[in-house]
């Protein structure tokens, strides 16, 4: 399953919508996503699974690239 992760670059940053970044990662659960990203200094705001129409929509974005960890 593909998950979309919303995050801030620095763990000490307060979440601000204008600076929120996203990445896509393949995993089976949200816990696995967080585990894969634990050694990165990200302040993870939200993790959401993508499937069906929402996944198709995201795949059309020029920024869509699944991170391989």
Per-residue pLDDT tens digits for 18-67: 889 999 999 999 999 999 999 999 999 999 999 999 999 999 999 899 99
Query: Which domain covers residue 20, as residue numbers?
Result: 2-26+44-67
Query: Given this model, what pLDDT does residue 13 score?
Result: 80
Query: Does 35 reside within a domain?
Result: no
Query: Given this model, what pLDDT does residue 15 score?
Result: 83
Indicate the number of domains in the chain: 1
Query: Does 51 reside within a domain?
Result: yes
Query: Does 32 reside within a domain?
Result: no
Query: Tokens for 50?
Result: 């993508």
Query: Does 22 reside within a domain?
Result: yes
- CB count, 10 Å around CB of 43? 15
Query: Does 48 reside within a domain?
Result: yes
Q: Is the pLDDT of residue 3 over 90?
A: yes
Query: Tokens for 33?
Result: 């996503």
Average pLDDT over residues 3-25: 90
Q: Is the pLDDT of residue 7 over 90?
A: yes
pTM, full prediction = 0.89
């Amino acid at each position: 399953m593909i998950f979309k992760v919303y995050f801030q670059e620095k763990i000490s940053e307060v979440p601000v919508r204008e600076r929120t970044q996203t990445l896509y990662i393949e995993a089976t659960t949200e816990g696995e996503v967080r585990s894969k990203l634990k050694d990165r200094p990200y302040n993870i705001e939200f993790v959401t699974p993508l499937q069906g129409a929402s996944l198709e929509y995201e795949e059309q974005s020029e920024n869509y690239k699944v991170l391989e960890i």
